[in-house]
Amino acid sequence: MKIITTLIIGVISIQLGSAQLEYVGAGSTDGISVSASHSASGTAAEHTIDGSGLDGRLMDASRFLYQAGFGADYETVAQLAESQDYEGWIDYQASLSPTLVLPKMTDINAQTFQLYINRSDDDRNGDGIPDPNDPDDYFGPWMVHFSYAWWDNVKKAPDQLRYKVAHALSQILVISFNSDLSGHGEAVSSYFDVLLLNGLKNYKDILTEVSLHPAMGYYLSHLNNPRSNPSRNQHPDENYAREIMQLFTIGLYELNLDGSRKLDEEGNPIPTYDNDDIKELAKVFTGLGGGDLNAKIKREYPGASISFGAGLYNIDRTIPMRMWEAYHEPGQKTIVGDYVIPAGQSGLEDIDDAIEHLFQHDNVGPFIGRQLIQRLVKSNPSPDYIRRVAQTFNDNGSGVRGDMLAVIKAILLDPEARSCEALGAADHGKLREPILRHTHIMHALESDSPTGDYWKDPQSTIELMKQAPFASPTVFNFYEPDYQPQGDLLAQGLVAPEFQIFDSETAIGYVNQTFLYSVWELLMYDWEPETPNVNVVLDELFALSEDTEALLHRLDILFTHGQMTESTRQVIRDTLDELPYPSLRRERARIALYLTLISPDYTILK
């Protein structure tokens, strides 16, 4: 005997067979007959229960691919939505070989040098070069060549998760072109490669590699940092010692596992270190000098050898600094927490001892975990979210501390990152940073590069939006993790880091930049007069522009991840009504994209 169950939704009836339990949207129509009073073009009654009309999976997959990478096109979103295997996607990404920046930048520098020597003297402003076959007569590689390589790899590299994590780490472990590093593209490329190579490994390895990299050594001045010389009133430079504690590991105040501050008996926060701790730790980071001379110096001065004190312009800026024991501070050092580094160790043993001690501090998990959550998911993670991530940092489940792959999984797969309940919370979300808005459109839509290159001039985003890779104004990044803009957010005790560079200038700059993306279809340009611009290809949107709702739906999937509000939809509908199909089909798509990208539904990631 068949049991008949009738469910009425409007005038839709569903009959369920006795051998099968189903519910609306379950995704299966086996043993079920569905009828409807009306069938619009392209629809069928069974779509009410087979899942084809429900896009929650698409929306979450799109949001995940933005959090874990730089966004994705519709096909990539649909593939992940079908499998819903987010952890598997992370594991696959981690298995990919890193796509390094330094080799790409070196190749680009050679290409731009060739372009340069082929120009007329007029094209070079009359600055002819004595020997067009000598790369040393050409200024480079510098920050422009790094920028070209970074954007090109971000667009093309398959290891998107690795790049997203490295980008997040670059805003915690900061070096910047706002220094003499602007003339040393290979130094910054090599430094970013350190973050790529280690970003999904162990945080202690990251700290060690960063501490020994000449770009960091130069930026925070422990390159050629000598031991004390009391007769000359000479003391170790304290810059790196301060920042490795304040910014890279333990922060300013003692923390609970959930990121809240511990308080003393009088209710005051407890400092993690004092000035004596800085002075003692500074002694540890003495004696580090260049690892070797660079190729140019070796060519110009055959037989020359490296010595302590060789400056940034003379050393190989792509290999770790080496320890020069004669310049390392000997003796016992007592650092934060009254931890004693014993006398008699080598300089590198002192450094490893100090880094291990800082790495083991209880603050590191919540301090670094919270900032990574802010960079990837949301500005105001709950104490429970921070606690869960910090617990994973402390122990990945196999007794390993600092396992970054486990930490990234904990961040991206946490209920607060994935659940609909979290999406509805008033404190959920973050302002998208300018760089990631640009990378998003690069990945969500097709683009046309006549040369196959994606070289982006860094100055344009610095001028328009006050951000470009490795162009922060200080070691504190473009924005501080606890920044609170005036207004409702401050009144509610919430932070919003990215708003620190959001002002009238950058707001207008972003709108102008978006106008270029959408209305002019211009994605990026560089400083090389011989290379053509890269354009956005909007054919996908043009094909949908006849149907306003279909166009809005596609834009919602790609950019607002199911968060496009009815008010925003209506603004776009009303605007498109003034541009009827088919005569203005392209304009309809362009304007819909433009209005989507400047809407609060897009600029605030939920």
Contact between 402 and 361 (Cβ < 8 Å):
no
Does residue 11 have a pLDDT over 80? no
Q: What is the distance between the alpha carbons of residues 212 and 291, in angstroms, rounded to a whole number? A: 10
Q: Which residues of 127-162 are buried (b: 16+ CB within 10 A; e: fewer)?
A: eeeeeeeebeebebbbbbbbbbbbbbbbbebebbbb
pLDDT value at position 1? 40
Element (H, E) at 83: helix 74-83
Q: Which tokens belong to 484? A: 């609170």
Distances (CA, A) of 192 to 100, 164, 262, 348, 368: 8, 12, 34, 23, 18
Does residue 4 have a pLDDT over 50? no
Q: What is the distance between the alpha carbons of residues 541 and 523, in angstroms, rounded to a whole number? A: 16
pLDDT band at 88 (very low <50, low <70, confident <90, very high): very high
- Beta strands (DSSP E) in 512-575 are 522-524, 534-537
Query: Three-state DSSP class for 274?
Result: coil
Torsion of CA 217, 220, 224, 230, to 10 degrees: -150
Nearest to 411 by CA among 428, 440, 388: 388
Torsion of CA 593, 430, 67, 56, to 10 degrees: -70
* CA-based R_g, the chain, Å: 28
Q: What is the distance between the alpha carbons of residues 544 and 62, in angstroms, rounded to a whole number? A: 19
pLDDT in tens, 263-300: 999 999 999 999 999 999 999 999 999 999 999 999 99
413 vs 43 pLDDT, higher one: 413
Contact between 329 and 284 (Cβ < 8 Å):
yes
Continuous H helices in 377-448: 383-394, 404-413, 415-418, 420-423, 434-444
Neighbours of 197 (CB within 10 A): 16
Residue 351: what are its φ and ψ, rounded to 5°? -65, -45
* Interval 435-442 mean pLDDT: 97
Does residue 506 have a pLDDT over 90? yes
pLDDT value at position 5? 38
Q: What is the distance between the alpha carbons of residues 249 and 246, in angstroms, rounded to a whole number? A: 7
Q: What is the DSSP string of 517-528?
A: HHTS-EEE--S-
Q: Kindly report the average pLDDT of the chain as a whole number.
A: 90
pLDDT value at position 64? 98
pLDDT value at position 557? 98
Burial class (CB in 10 A: 0-12, 13-18, 19+), 441: buried
Helix 404-413 crosses helix 364-376 at what angle (to 10 degrees)?
50
pLDDT value at position 9? 38
* Interval 415-428 mean pLDDT: 89
* Interval 573-581 mean pLDDT: 86
Q: What is the distance between the alpha carbons of residues 557 and 73, in angstroms, rounded to a whole number? A: 9
Contact between 414 and 586 (Cβ < 8 Å):
no
Contact between 602 and 596 (Cβ < 8 Å):
yes
**Cβ neighbours of residue 340 closer than 8 Å, sequence gap 6 or more:** 332, 333, 334
* Interval 109-125 mean pLDDT: 72
Residue 604: what are its φ and ψ, rounded to 5°? -100, 115
* Single-letter code of the amino acid located at 541: L
Look at phi and psi of residue 51 and say left if phi exceeds 0, alpha if psi is from -120 to 50, else beta.
Answer: left
Q: Which tokens belong to 238? A: 């304290």
Burial class (CB in 10 A: 0-12, 13-18, 19+), 285: buried
pLDDT band at 46 (very low <50, low <70, confident <90, very high): low
Nearest to 243 by CA among 288, 188, 285: 285
Nearest to 535 by CA among 437, 451, 435, 595: 451
Contact between 535 and 523 (Cβ < 8 Å):
yes
Q: What is the distance between the alpha carbons of residues 247 and 267, in angstroms, rounded to a whole number? A: 24
Does residue 366 have a pLDDT over 80? yes
pLDDT value at position 344? 97
* Interval 320-332 mean pLDDT: 98
Contact between 485 and 507 (Cβ < 8 Å):
no
pLDDT value at position 148? 97
Query: Three-state DSSP class for 74?
Result: helix
pLDDT in tens, 138-183: 778 999 999 999 999 999 999 999 999 999 999 999 999 999 999 9
Distances (CA, A) of 377 to 179, 182, 210, 277, 473: 30, 30, 25, 34, 24
Query: Three-state DSSP class for 293?
Result: strand
Q: What pairing do the DSSP bridges indicate for beta strands 446-448 and 322-323?
A: unpaired
Query: Three-state DSSP class for 188?
Result: helix
Does residue 43 have a pLDDT over 70? no
pLDDT value at position 2? 39
- Beta strands (DSSP E) in 114-177 are none
pLDDT in tens, 526-541: 989 889 999 999 999 9
* Interval 102-114 mean pLDDT: 94
Neighbours of 584 (CB within 10 A): 15
Q: What is the distance between the alpha carbons of residues 504 and 330, in angstroms, rounded to a whole number? A: 53
Distance spanning both ends of the chain, measured CA to CA: 49
